[in-house]
Amino acid sequence: MSAIRWGIIGCGDVTEVKSGPAFQKAAGSALVAVMRRNGDLARDYAFRHNVPRWYASAEALIRDPEVDAVYIATPPSSHREYAIAVARQGKPVYVEKPMARSFEECQEMIEACEAARVPLFVAYYRRALPRFLQVKSWLEDGRIGQVLAVNLRLFHRPSRDDLEGVKHWRVDRAISGGGYFVDLGSHMIDLVQFLLGPIRSVGGLAGNQMGRYDVEDVVGAAFRFENGTLGTGLWTFNASTDLDEVELIGTAGRIHYSTFQNHPVVLASGGKTESVVIPHPEHIQQPLIQSMVDELHGRGKCPSTGRSGSTTSWVMDRILEEGTAFAKSR
């Protein structure tokens, strides 16, 4: 079967190692075109990565008859626009996370892809990484019994740019949809839903404690999964040290893992502790990209779709809307 020929809109930093080369290395896949508004940078990327064609126009890449599917690797503010344009050309869509700036934008993207009868995939690639599939396997095998609760914590020290007052798109709500919580917390919330099922009710608190930018820099949340599991989360981006930890608490044990760091996944059950080191692949999106390619070839299923990605956006919207409203009432 011929390879799925991919085009990339927005061949920036995220595509250099995490994703771009994976389209060339996945079985049954090829990267044939890239686009960036700065044509010189697009040409340079194409030259360095051995990509046949480059564009300075997204429309030109989308309309290229030799591009079968499109990866949208731009900031969230343009995801909706590009996803709808790709769908109208009858081509499958793969969009970076978070899926869009809001749940409402996600819904529009889903509707456009469903109307065009093309699949919509989202780059929550941790759903396909071996270390988290190990966690899912432990849960499905009942190694910690019934899961009662989950606790998510992410503490980051402020970046140099933030300390120096340098503005960037990740803390510009008009571009990103929020702050670091939306950028990083989205991975954590999506992953626990992959492991435990959908979140059905959620409440939140949010604030801007240090005033370094105009969006939230601390977020707290409480939520209930469809299966009755309870959860809490705390994200702060002005801590004195970094912490990346998720704990799953069950009737027969506990599981610890880090969402971003290359720490072991740890199972404590039956009086024994099992620590498993599972390195990430060189191109961290490659397992998810392979699952998309397999689905497009009719021989598998991708675990991260527009529907699942939009649920994560719904959860974040509820947390921030409730949290911001509370902050304003104080």
Q: Measured between alpha carbons, how far is 313 from 108 in angstroms, rounded to an integer?
A: 13
pLDDT tens for residues 91-120?
999 999 999 999 999 999 999 999 999 999
CATH number for 160:
3.30.360.10
What the block records as the tokens of 155 is 């503490």
pLDDT tens for residues 110-151?
999 999 999 999 999 999 999 999 999 999 999 999 999 999
Residues 57 and 194 reside in one and the same domain:
no
Domain hosting 171: range is 127-281+313-329
Can you tell me the mean pLDDT for 257-264?
96
Q: Would you place residue 75 in the very low, low, confident or very high pLDDT band (cuts 50, 70, 90)?
A: very high
Per the document, the length of the chain is 330
For the cut 90, the answer to whether the pLDDT of residue 326 exceeds it is no
Residues 275 and 320 reside in one and the same domain:
yes
Residues 100 and 204 reside in one and the same domain:
no
pLDDT given at position 231: 98
Long-range contacts at 324-329 (CB < 8 A, ≥ 24 apart): 324/206, 324/216, 326/205, 326/206, 327/205, 327/206, 327/207, 327/208
Q: How many CB atoms lie under 10 A from the CB of residue 212?
A: 20
Partner residues linked to 53 by β-bridges: 33
DSSP state letter for 42: H
pLDDT given at position 322: 80
Residues 320 and 172 reside in one and the same domain:
yes
Q: pTM of the prediction?
A: 0.95
Determine the 3-state secondary structure of 12 from DSSP.
Answer: coil
